[in-house]
Every structure is written in structure tokens, then in C-alpha cells.
A and B are shown apart, each in its own frame.
Chain A
């Protein structure tokens, strides 16, 4: 079992850093290029959601990122202390976005669900959101 934990300001320049860090971390489990791409994309979605939705721009909070690698399985936790999601079920629907005026596609959670083996979202209004992503490498071989 290997793991890392980090905490970084919810700034857009950290979206690339976070997904690249995760991609580098899972290399130890010898994932295929496609699997690395899947993890990178899903992490980018979750971290971008923290930057875009969780906090107000004038007063950005923090992104809490944890990853646990056990044999061929990675679990990634992306957490914030932001506004939270009022209706999680609705938020998970394809093309649903509370920021469609800003041309957000509303496909972030759908991308996470398609690219990862398991996605769970726990959120409370006014307290924050925790997204858990799990992927097993080598499932297709």
C-alpha cells in the first residue's frame, strides 16, 4: 500500500498540477496509457469542480487530495469545504450544470463515471463535497 495526501489552494493553475501528480503516482501499478488517461481526466473533472463551483472566486478555499494505491487498485479522494451540492442526484445527471451560462457542459460527473470503476459523491450544503474515485488497473486483460 502506498499513499499521498496534499492540500492546495483552489486555483485554476492547480488543475494541471493535480492531475499530473495523480498520473505520476499511479505509474507504480503499471497502468496502460489509456488507464492513465482515464485517471487524469477524472481527476481533472473533480478538481476543476472544486475550483469552479465550491468557493467564490474572491475567496478561494482549499482542495484536499488523497490517493491510495493497493496492488492494482487506486482510490482517489477529492474534498473541499465549499458550498456543497443541494441535490447530488440531479448534479450527477448528464448535461446538468448550475453554470451553463459560463458554458460549463454539465458532463463532469458523467466523465468520471465513464472513466472510473466507482464514483461516490457525498455533499452537504454549506459544508462541502467529497468525491471518491476508484479504478482497477488491468481489468480488461
Chain B
């Protein structure tokens, strides 16, 4: 995972297959970034994510709730077809915007 600040946005770049075996690491790393930076929107860039299942939905909803309690927003970007299908059917786009 890499990250960068861009204006008011914190960008996080995820890689590989986002499943149960890596969920804990991804969650802890994103939370550490959330706690260390001042920003108004977290953008998760998924260009390099080739696979995700409902475990990823749980992690994203968890980050959404954490950010909401801090008054910050969450967006996702560059979602591939398979990941997009999982996001759509779980209704993620009702609360997390796609850039």
C-alpha cells in the first residue's frame, strides 16, 4: 500500500487481491494513515486491485463509519469490473462516491 496527500485529499493505493487473508493489514494501515494526516476526503485508488470479495466490503464500510464520525468523506477510484460488480450489488455507491 502506498499513499500521498493531494490538496485536501489523502490518496491510498491498494495492490493485488483484497480478501480475508490481507484484510487485517489493510484495515490497520488505512486506520494508521487516517489517524496521522489532516485531510477532508480519503480516496482509495483500486487500479492495481485485481480481485475483491465481500470481506473488502466490510473493511470499506468500517472505514466509512470511522471517517463519518470524524466528519470526513470516503471515495473510491479506478475500480475494475469484478470489484465494481461486488460494490454495486452491495449498495456501496449509495454512501461512497466513485470518482
Contacts and interface: CB of A to CB of B under 8 A. Distances in A.
Q: Is this pair of chains taken from one and the same complex?
A: yes
Contacts of A48: 19-20, 53, 55
A111 B54 contact: yes
Say whether chain A's binding surface is mostly helix, strand, loop, or mixed. helix
Contacts of B86: 41, 111
Contacts, number: 68
B27 interface: yes
A17 to B, nearest CB: 10
Nearest to A113: B89
B85 A37 contact: yes
Contacts of A38: 85
Chain B interface bracket (under 10, 10 to 19, 20 to 34, 35 or more): 20 to 34
Interface in B54-97: 54-55, 57-59, 61-62, 81-82, 85-86, 89-90
B21 interface: yes
A15 to B, nearest CB: 5
Interface stretch (A63-71, A83-91, A102-110): A102-110
Interface in A96-121: 102-108, 110-111, 114-115
A114 B82 contact: no
A56 interface: no
Interface string B18-34: 01110100010000000
Interface of A: 12-13, 15-16, 19, 33-34, 37-38, 40-41, 44-45, 48, 51-52, 102-108, 110-111, 114-115
